[in-house]
Amino acid sequence: MTASLGGKVALVTGAAGGIGGAVVRRFVAEGAEVLAADLDAAGLGRLAAEVPGVRTCTADITAADGVTALFAAMDDAFGRIDILVNNAGIGGPRVKRLHELDLEEYDAVMAANLRAPLALTQAVLPRMIAAGGGAIVNLASPAGMHAVPRVGPYSISKAGMIMLTKQTAKEYAADGIRCNAVAPGVTDTAILDGLPKAHLDQIVAMIPQGRIAQPDEIAAMIVFLASDAASFVNGSIVLVDGAAGT
């Protein structure tokens, strides 16, 4: 697969995390200029020390002033945006059945995993329309396609992310904007922290390739979808899961 992001300007959220960090490293290696955003200022500092040229912005994307600060940083650094990667997300409560959930916990997951990506999409669309196009890549999940017991808010948020992807693709295709999602299988990042080992072993036993993914294997697909090589890929939800969902 050849994919170059030379001359492109990208905003990557959740950049201090496992998949987001891998996306930033690959984007920069492929020639993109990147604004890396996260809540985690220390994590962004480590990323900036490792990846030459990357710009960073510490912001909470669930807060209106966080989104405003991000786009102020984007406008200040580059004055335009070609690519948005809606990657930031949280796992939420893992051991509760629906009737045991606090609705506040549900609201927190939906705010981070669905409302914030919509707010960021709303902010980039007028800029991309004015520029004649752009690419948005959202992080969905197989959990948004098949219900996973006891992770209801996460599954529901990722099902919403899938429809946000399709809705954006269909409404803005004529504006030259593509929107796709990657649905990673279980990937080796901090989002798995706290998952009981027995549960992880069960998951691995159901993956035909016999292992979980590494973040860079997910980032490779995100680079492709963000690049002009994917010029007719639009509204797609791409599983990267070692054949688990096949």
Ligand X SMILES: NC(=O)c1ccc[n+]([C@@H]2O[C@H](COP(=O)([O-])OP(=O)(O)OC[C@H]3O[C@@H](n4cnc5c(N)ncnc54)[C@H](O)[C@@H]3O)[C@@H](O)[C@H]2O)c1
Active site residues: 154
Instruction: Give the separation between CA 246 and CA 120, rounded to whole angstroms.
Output: 32
Task: Give whichever of 24 and 61 is closer to ligand X, judged by the CB atom.
Answer: 61
- Per-residue tokens: 220: 């490779």
Give the one residue of 70, 84, 87, 124 binding ligand X; rule: CB under 6 A: 87
Q: Which stretch binds ligand X (CB under 6 A): 2-10, 59-67, 128-136, 223-231?
A: 59-67
Among positions 182-221, residues that touch ligand X (CB under 6 A) are 184, 186-187, 189-191
Q: Is 14 in the site for ligand X (CB under 6 A)?
A: yes
Give the one residue of 60, 160, 181, 230 binding ligand X; rule: CB under 6 A: 60
Instruction: Give the separation between CA 100 and CA 98, rounded to whole angstroms.
Output: 5
Q: Is 62 in the site for ligand X (CB under 6 A)?
A: yes
Distance of closest approach, residue 174 Cβ to ligand X, in angstroms: 28
**Phi, psi at 3, each rounded to 5°:** -150, 125
| E strand segments, the chain | 9-13, 33-38, 55-58, 83-86, 134-139, 177-184, 237-240
Q: DSSP assignment, residue 149?
A: T
Q: Is 39 in the site for ligand X (CB under 6 A)?
A: yes
Task: Give whichever of 5 and 139 is closer to ligand X, judged by the CB atom.
Answer: 139
- Per-residue tokens: 203: 């998951």
Task: Evaluate the CA torsion angle 246, 197, 210, 1 in order and state its sign.
Answer: positive
Chain residues binding ligand X by CB under 6 A are 13-14, 16-20, 38-40, 43, 60-62, 87-90, 112, 139, 141, 184, 186-187, 189-191
